[in-house]
Chain A
Amino acid sequence: MPSSVSRSRHRVTASELVGPYTLLRLERGDLEPGAPGQFFMLEAPGRLLPRPFSLCLAPPGELAFLVDPIGPGTEALCRLRAGDEIGVLGPLGHGYRLDVERPLLVGGGIGIAPLPYLAEQLGGSPPAVLGFRNADYAEAAALLPSAEVVIDPVLVTELIEPRFDVMACGPEPMLQAVAALYPTAQLGWEAPMACGYGACYGCVVEIDGALERLCLEGPVLDAARVRARVEAVA
């Protein structure tokens, strides 16, 4: 948890298309970028509830978020233009541990969102494997120029070598497959979230065998902590 839970308003500096996604850039103001994999709640204009996003990039003076327009909230965020203002709360939750020796970043679809900032915080261009459903979505790989890219039906797990410390984010089946192969992997999960700070009890996932709030325990979890869930599904 941050020491202070308070929402602040931030101006949009730019909105850029990256394949089918939108990279939304906001003025940073007093916000800390936090650790890679932590998340921010962004006000979705015209909607009751904010939406959770991990930080994608942290250029000087800015925070940038990758948005996939999959519903009314994310579509409203993609319609924002430079000069518009939204409420922002964060950084929230727990991100990736950076004390790894041989990082390998693994991303699937919109799950690539936290990886550019993670790569930067790891100090350069760690090896990365990104998977997308088609070439259109794969345009987003430009955010991580050093990455190997695979397109469905090729799976990212086909390219992972065992000698790496895997740091992954992506759809649940991909995370389950990664967790089954690499019990030491760090996995970035997602869940519907109304608040992001433990108030709504809506974002539970099975962690250490019990339903726990992802916003407080995660969203980045050691694969071993979701082992029961993975084995139950397998």
Chain B
Amino acid sequence: MRILNASGCLDALAAPEVARQLEAFVTKTVTPLPREGSAPPRIAETAHGMLNAIGLANAGRERFLADHVPRLRELGIPLWVSVGGFCAADYAETCSLLSDIEAIELNLSCPNVDEAADSAAEIVSACRQATELPLYAKLSAAHPDVAAVARAVAAAGADGLSLINTLRATALDKQLRPVLARGSGGLSGPALKPVALHAISVCHQATGLPIVGMGGIETGRDALEFAVCGAHDVALGTALFADPGAPTRVRAELATACADAGVATPDDARDLAKSPETERKVPA
């Protein structure tokens, strides 16, 4: 089981020693044009979670490729590029320009942009024709039938799934106004974990695709639970903010959690939730 960062939750150029704890670094989502992002306040703590409305702030595709990618390569960490856009052609063109990286994650589910994207399957299909690099589709658990979306992107050529993105949410301040300037944002942190475990279970059962599981992982025990539900790899997001040593800590805790559970590796734990020995299964 590899430990990655959730896209947008780490700047490897600002904190390379945090990125070096990871098996792969996932970039912040890159869009065709530069985006300044949302006005502040952009973040707020909530009960067992936090909201963010960063608004896909990024330097844009041209500067990302010319300036950021070469410097990221120098870090010597396997690189995943998170790709965003507002139509299938946006995504596909960025994919066609990427090479010599480990994988592409298609951000099909950012809750902080207003523009409606084409359907997930349409985007994956366009990107599949544009690149031979591994394509991971990052899906939202806010969809009423995330397993159906997973099947559709699998049929369109996705090599894997990233589950889950933040959920759109709102918090109010003491004066009963939205805390975030944008009014709403994406909810992350431990509050999301049960939602993520369910989405991963049903998408794993629906597709069997490799899954990068994320959503509220704070400990090695959390990571093991993600493996049991079907995740091959995990990503840390909010946990990195409080503890930049989280990847190393979670990896050590995961080994202990596996030993406690009587499994040799997290891979052996996968499907424990639906093995014949256990009576309870996660319904689709």
Q: Is the CB of A49 within 8 A of B242?
A: yes
Kindly specify which of B49-57, B95-103, B136-144, B261-269 makes contact with the partner chain. Answer: B49-57
Measured between alpha carbons, how far is A15 from B45 in the docked complex, in Å? 25
Contacts of A5 in B (CB 8 A): 15, 17-18, 244
Measured between alpha carbons, how far is A201 from B37 in the docked complex, in Å? 10
Kindly specify which of B5-13, B156-164, B203-211 makes contact with the partner chain. Answer: B5-13
Contacts of A202 in B (CB 8 A): 40-43, 52, 54
Measured between alpha carbons, how far is A72 from B54 in the docked complex, in Å? 23
Q: Which residue of chain B is the closest to A214 with respect to CB atoms? A: B40
Contacts of A201 in B (CB 8 A): 8, 11, 28, 37, 42, 52, 54, 57
Number of A-B contacts (CB under 8 A): 105
Determine if B48 is an interface residue (Cβ-Cβ < 8 Å): yes
Measured between alpha carbons, how far is A1 from B11 in the docked complex, in Å? 12
A48-B45, A192-B41 given as contacts; is B18 within 8 A of A200 (CB)?
no
Q: Which residue of chain B is the closest to A72 with respect to CB atoms? A: B45
Chain B interface residue number, banded: 20 to 34
Contacts of B243 in A (CB 8 A): 7, 87
Determine if B189 is an interface residue (Cβ-Cβ < 8 Å): yes
Determine if A174 is an interface residue (Cβ-Cβ < 8 Å): no
Q: Is the CB of A199 within 8 A of B240?
A: yes
Whole-angstrom distance from the CB of A216 to the nearest CB of chain B?
A: 6
Q: Is the CB of A211 within 8 A of B244?
A: no
Q: Is the CB of A194 within 8 A of B241?
A: yes
- Secondary structure at the A interface, as helix, strand, loop or mixed, is loop
Q: Is the CB of B50 within 8 A of A199?
A: no
Measured between alpha carbons, how far is A198 from B41 in the docked complex, in Å? 16
Q: Is the CB of B241 within 8 A of A200?
A: yes
Q: Is the CB of B40 within 8 A of A199?
A: no
Determine if A67 is an interface residue (Cβ-Cβ < 8 Å): no
A48-B50, A73-B45, A195-B241 given as contacts; is B190 within 8 A of A204 (CB)?
no
> Would you give the 0/1 interface string for B23-44, flagging 1 where the beta carbon is closer than 8 Å to chain A?
0000010000000110111111
30 contacts between A and B (CB under 8 A): A6-B17, A7-B242, A7-B243, A7-B245, A41-B242, A48-B48, A48-B189, A48-B190, A48-B242, A87-B243, A194-B45, A194-B238, A194-B242, A195-B240, A197-B15, A198-B11, A199-B10, A199-B15, A199-B240, A200-B52, A201-B8, A201-B11, A202-B43, A203-B40, A204-B42, A205-B40, A211-B36, A211-B39, A211-B40, A211-B57
Interface residues of chain A, those whose CB is within 8 Å of chain B, are 1, 4-7, 41, 43, 47-50, 72-73, 87, 89, 191-195, 197-205, 210-211, 216
